[in-house]
């Protein structure tokens, strides 16, 4: 394994670990104390805890071990080591902060619990997802449903999570069930929002007589690639050069500032690129 690949792998596992740690804190501090079953193995564990008083962390170990065993038998080994690692690190952190070294737990207004619990879990899960990993749970059951019943993965996860949320209403009370379903909806929306912010890139099309200077800045100042297209002005009929550049959103301001500095007459168009694969962006896996 090359040093660059090793560094990237270490970074992925580090970010994934931070992600599952933040998610676990959201679950332990806000969701578990208020019995909010916001889907996944943690939500199912919260429901089962009502009937058999094992800790949520222990229940999650049991649930995920059983789910992985069933998946390996029925679906085959279809999970990356990173997903298995994140699943059981998530279990470990929940068990650690809930049972082994208990931390502060918020037991108050349910809306506050849903709001802050979802913010923490969504940020943590988005970080984990951004590294091409997940925390198992309903993802595993959704894979089984997809293989044997042709259920789309996204719909399968949604149905399973909503079922867990509704079961919290039967296990505890109707209000808890409704807050659990609310938490599932808010969590999914927030994860999408955070992921968009983490992964959003920008395409910039630049038309300038001083394209060479702009090209040099993109290559050496931003360390980004640039593609040059030959074009013809529709009005002037003169040949032109168009630069095509893809950047992270945070780099756009620097590029725009430099373009203004080099050529105030430059014409450029900016559009969003929700997902970009390749060198310097998301890895193709």
Ordered by start, the domain boundaries in the chain are 3-198, 200-273
Give per-residue pLDDT as tens, 156-197: 788 889 999 999 999 999 999 999 999 999 988 888 778 777
CA distance 242 to 112: 51
Model pLDDT, residue 275 = 73
Q: What's the CATH number for 200-273? A: 3.30.70.120
Q: Output the tens digit of pLDDT for each of the chain's 285 residues.
A: 567 778 878 888 999 999 999 999 999 999 999 999 999 899 999 999 999 999 999 999 999 998 888 888 876 666 678 888 999 999 999 999 999 999 999 998 999 999 999 999 999 988 888 777 788 778 778 777 777 777 776 677 888 899 999 999 999 999 999 999 999 999 888 887 787 776 678 899 999 999 999 999 899 888 888 999 999 988 888 899 999 999 887 788 888 888 988 998 899 899 988 777 777 666 665
Q: What global pTM score does this model have?
A: 0.76
């Amino acid at each position: 394994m090359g040093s660059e690949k090793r560094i990237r792998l270490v970074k992925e596992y580090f970010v994934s670990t931070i992600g599952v740690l933040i998610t676990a804190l959201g679950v332990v501090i806000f969701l578990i104390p208020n019995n909010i079953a916001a889907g996944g193995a943690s939500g199912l564990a919260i429901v089962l805890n009502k009937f058999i008083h094992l800790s949520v962390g222990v229940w999650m170990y049991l649930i995920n071990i059983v789910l992985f065993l069933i998946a390996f038998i029925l679906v085959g080994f279809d999970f990356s080591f990173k997903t298995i690692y994140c699943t059981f690190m998530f279990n470990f952190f929940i068990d650690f902060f809930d049972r082994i070294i208990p931390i502060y737990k918020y037991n108050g207004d349910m809306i506050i619990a849903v709001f802050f619990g979802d913010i923490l879990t969504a940020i943590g899960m988005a970080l984990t997802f951004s590294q091409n990993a997940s925390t198992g749970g309903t993802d595993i059951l959704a894979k089984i449903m997809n293989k044997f019943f042709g259920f789309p993965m996204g719909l399968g996860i949604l149905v399973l999570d909503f079922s867990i949320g509704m079961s919290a209403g039967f296990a505890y009370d109707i209000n808890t069930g409704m807050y659990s379903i609310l938490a599932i909806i808010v969590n999914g929306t927030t994860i999408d929002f955070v992921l968009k912010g983490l992964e959003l890139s920008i395409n910039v099309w630049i038309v300038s007589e001083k394209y060479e200077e702009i090209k040099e800045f993109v290559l050496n100042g931003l360390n980004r690639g640039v593609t040059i297209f030959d074009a013809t002005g529709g009005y002037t009929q003169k040949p032109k050069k168009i630069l095509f550049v893809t950047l992270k959103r945070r780099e756009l301001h620097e590029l725009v500032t430099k373009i203004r500095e080099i050529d105030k007459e430059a014409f450029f168009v900016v559009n969003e690129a929700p997902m970009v694969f390749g060198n310097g962006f998301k890895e193709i896996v």
